Structure 1
Amino acid sequence: MKKILLFIPIILFLASCSPTAPKKTKEQGESKVLLQRFLSKSRFLDNGSSVRIFLSIDIDRTFTLAEASKDFVISYNLYPDYSAKQNSLSTGNVAINTENATQEGGLLTVWFDIPKPKDLLTGLALAEIKDLRTGNKIFNDCFLRFQSGKVSDYFMFYDKTGKTPLARNYFTVQDTVVLRSLSEKEQTFKVFKYRYDFDAAISPMSTTPRAASKSLFVDSSFTISSNKPFVLKSDALYYFTRDTTESYGIGMVVGDKRFPKMTRPEKLVRPLIYVSTNAETSDLYNSKDSKRSLDNYWLNIMQGNQGTAKRTIKSYYQRVEQANRLFTTYKEGWKTDKGMVYIVMGDPTRITRTKDKEVWTYTRNSQYSEVNFTFTRRANQFADDHYELQRYAEYQSIWFPTVEQWRNGDKI
């Protein structure tokens, strides 16, 4: 029988989110988002008398900006908060053109300004995105701060020309970027680099108290100036701050040249922790020959069925890559709580959001019931979108059968 060494090249060309105990409650001021065939993320920058929203849409097909301008219709409403959906402060339509949009692979990034309302500290921008080609429609909600001292509300990374916004938390080694504000204010930043291998998310069923946060030690530091290009020379967690007394700065994860894809055997074994036994995980993590261990792992759980193994490998690592794209914060997206749930469970049927909480709902068609995974936003100095899963032992009734589907090759 041929070894599953043959399967590894498949990964090299891969393209490129209730148990009985948690009670379902109706949150005041919720925003429901249906995930369909395209996904979106957003962030904002202060622009003086307005805020500029950067909307990134993962379309999952090749396109040109000219095609996007015809295929997509974007509109928005501005509300005081999540609980005041009947009180729209302003509304508008967003045209897509070369002046306010960029295209990179299957990712479309569009930006537009919304005037700041008077006498409000925060607000909610709800964008409706229609794909006229497929008929799909999604909503994207962006929580806004109109008066803030957080450096990440004013500065963002751009490409080496300083013109193309890069509205994400991850980059790759040797990328050249520019940190700048919309006002192009000159600012010196102290940059700290941390070389630390963060742990993967713990099981959704683990209800034991979390271990105390480990201390991070600075590997090196340097200074940069805003509006000037600089090179990301090594993979690490980078932290940018104007003043070392600031509580919050700007974080970024710098991965190898393939990130958010994973191709090296020693890295490919890591995300398998979510569908493996403790003994299997120990063997994979401690092996001196990651490639051989990876081959043997898939050979064993698929009982030698190469066709099933190929399909399962492709599907699993596509989700790992997408988790890295969508959920990277201060650590790779696959290691986050959201990344773990997304990899194992897939796209939620529905997302319900409030200011500091997200509820992912999965519909179990065979039983006509719903399972909710609730994520709570936690303060984090590196990232503004760090969420932690509320864990319950009762998740095992849905989690273990889904993991077993992966191990049987039925989760494609």
Structure 2
Amino acid sequence: MKQNIFIYLFFSLLLTTCTIAKPVNYSFQDNKNSLNPQFLIYHDSETTSKLYFQIFTEDILYSRTNVSEKFSSKIKLQFIAYNEPNNKIIDSGSFVISNNYLKNKKLKIDTNFSFLFPNAQIGFIDINVVDVNRNREFNKTIKIDKLNKYNRQFYIIKDTNNQLLYDDFFFKGQFIFIQSEFNIQRLFAKNINTSFPLSPPPFSKSYQPIFKSSNSICKQLNFNSQNLISYLLPNEGFVFFQLDTLSNQGFTLFNFQEGYPNLINADQLIPPLRYLTTKDEFASLLSSSDSKLAVDQYWLSKASSKERARNLIRIYYSRVEFANKLFSCHLEGWKTDRGLISIIFGPPSYVTNNRNSETWIYGDENNINSLKFIFENKINPFTTNDFILKRNYAYKNPWYRAVDSWRNGKVYLLK
């Protein structure tokens, strides 16, 4: 059946009636009842920008009052865009997005809208998305950078199927098209093959990587007469796109394993076990000729039954995949500090953030005995999603208590 998405747009200043909470920029609830929308900002003119919005229909509730009617969903999206540093509201508004179907529903809902934001300014846009039928909501704050022409918001990237590339990672050999309203000359693409280690335990000294883009293979990409760059992404390494190769500024597309952010084969199940294994155990897993059998045997050795082993595998690797979705930067999400903590300890009870840090609390928010982790946003030329844990020796006992729980066949969930 033909499906129609009806978008009702009405703009109004919401100075007193619309306040959007900003406790965190993502949800840890990765299930059918959670909202996991994606957003992308693109600067398309001197005075306006576009916000692209995508959500999978399996994440929202469709309902109907009787069997003769179509199933219907309703999403409400509110936004406030404001500049920095004086937080002056530039634009605000609200949408209602409805989608109907009778037999077969679409895989996802895609839409976009323009909002006012002047050139050469920096600011933020607060977004609140509500699944009206289920009364579930999602909040996100996105930085707007309309000052620095090297950042990705000045470029829109699509694949050969004309689909937007929302994520910052790609698959080897993928072909893309890059477009810009502000740059019609060229970009430089650096193919970088630097390897970065996974995060150490929270009580140990943090490893501070050196981000180098020198001595990398660099290629000049010119916009054609249609104001497009066509580019075949490499099989290995990630790509750093720049306006000026003498600077350390640009935007990056990362190349991780096949199927990323999901785990699609047994070989990919072994590396995340490094958080739980001894050196000898991990070496044995890596040297195994049958990865699936090695992984199964590892979990069976920790669990008291096959059923418990299956539950351990399901929860542990769902946390790995979810870390990949949330925390990817120059590293796969599971290798980052936030990935490390979320996999071993589970989702925190409370998360608060500001523009430069996040605080995760396990336990009651105002209880001095609760476990607290603070992650600080690190300056990284390749990504803005790099958050480093403030390590502390006091985390040693909680860490080993959590790891021992996994190794004794019990899912660790600290609340």
Q: What amino acid is the match of 1:76?
A: F
Normalised to the residue count of structure 2, the TM-score between the two structures is 0.76
Residue 341 of structure 1: how far off its partner (Å): 2.1
Matched, 1:273 2:271: no
Equivalent residue for 1:136? 136
- Computing the radius of gyration from Cα coordinates, the structure with the larger value is 2
Aligned pair in 2 of structure 1 residues 344, 379: CA closer, same or farther (>3 Å)? same
Matched, 1:203 2:194: no
Q: What amino acid is the match of 1:173?
A: K
Q: What amino acid is the match of 2:141?
A: D
Normalised to the residue count of structure 1, the TM-score between the two structures is 0.76
Equivalent residue for 1:44? 41
Matched, 1:224 2:215: no
Matched, 1:32 2:19: no
Query: How many angstroms apart in 1 are the aligned matches of 2:332 and 2:278?
Result: 22
Equivalent residue for 2:247? 246
Residue 108 of structure 1: how far off its partner (Å): 5.4
Query: How many angstroms apart in 2 are the aligned matches of 1:332 and 1:313?
Result: 19
Equivalent residue for 1:75? 78
Aligned pair in 2 of structure 1 residues 375, 56: CA closer, same or farther (>3 Å)? farther
CA contact (8 A) 1:161 1:178 kept: no
CA contact (8 A) 2:190 2:213 kept: no
The gaps in structure 2 that reach 5 residues or longer are 1-20, 63-69, 100-104
1:117-128 equivalences under 5 Å are 121-128=121-128
Query: How many angstroms apart in 2 are the aligned matches of 1:68 and 1:234?
Result: 43
Equivalent residue for 2:323? 323
Residue 351 of structure 1: how far off its partner (Å): 2.5
Residue 337 of structure 1: how far off its partner (Å): 1.6
Aligned pair in 2 of structure 1 residues 372, 171: CA closer, same or farther (>3 Å)? same
The sequence identity of aligned pairs, in percent, is: 21
Query: How many angstroms apart in 2 are the aligned matches of 1:325 and 1:82?
Result: 30
Residue 82 of structure 1: how far off its partner (Å): 9.0
| C-alpha RMSD of the superposition | 3.6
Say which SS state the counterpart of residue 23 (structure 2) adopts. Answer: strand
Larger RCO: Structure 1 or Structure 2 (Cα < 8 Å, ≥ 6 residues apart)? 1
Residue 169 of structure 1: how far off its partner (Å): 0.9
Aligned pair in 2 of structure 1 residues 169, 109: CA closer, same or farther (>3 Å)? farther
Deviations 1:135-168 (A, max 9, x none): 1122111122242233323124222255x32121
Residue 95 of structure 1: how far off its partner (Å): 4.5
Equivalent residue for 2:188? 190
Residue 77 of structure 1: how far off its partner (Å): 1.8
Residue 75 of structure 1: how far off its partner (Å): 0.4
Deviations 1:331-368 (A, max 9, x none): 22211222222222333333322111122233369x99
1:275-294 equivalences under 5 Å are 275-285=276-286, 287=288, 290-294=291-295
Deviations 1:59-112 (A, max 9, x none): 763789xx998331110123445996xx644320134489xxxx995x655533
Matched, 1:298 2:296: no
Equivalent residue for 2:14? none
Aligned pair in 2 of structure 1 residues 289, 326: CA closer, same or farther (>3 Å)? same
Equivalent residue for 2:350? 350
CA contact (8 A) 1:159 1:176 kept: yes
Say which SS state the counterpart of residue 381 (structure 1) adopts. Answer: coil
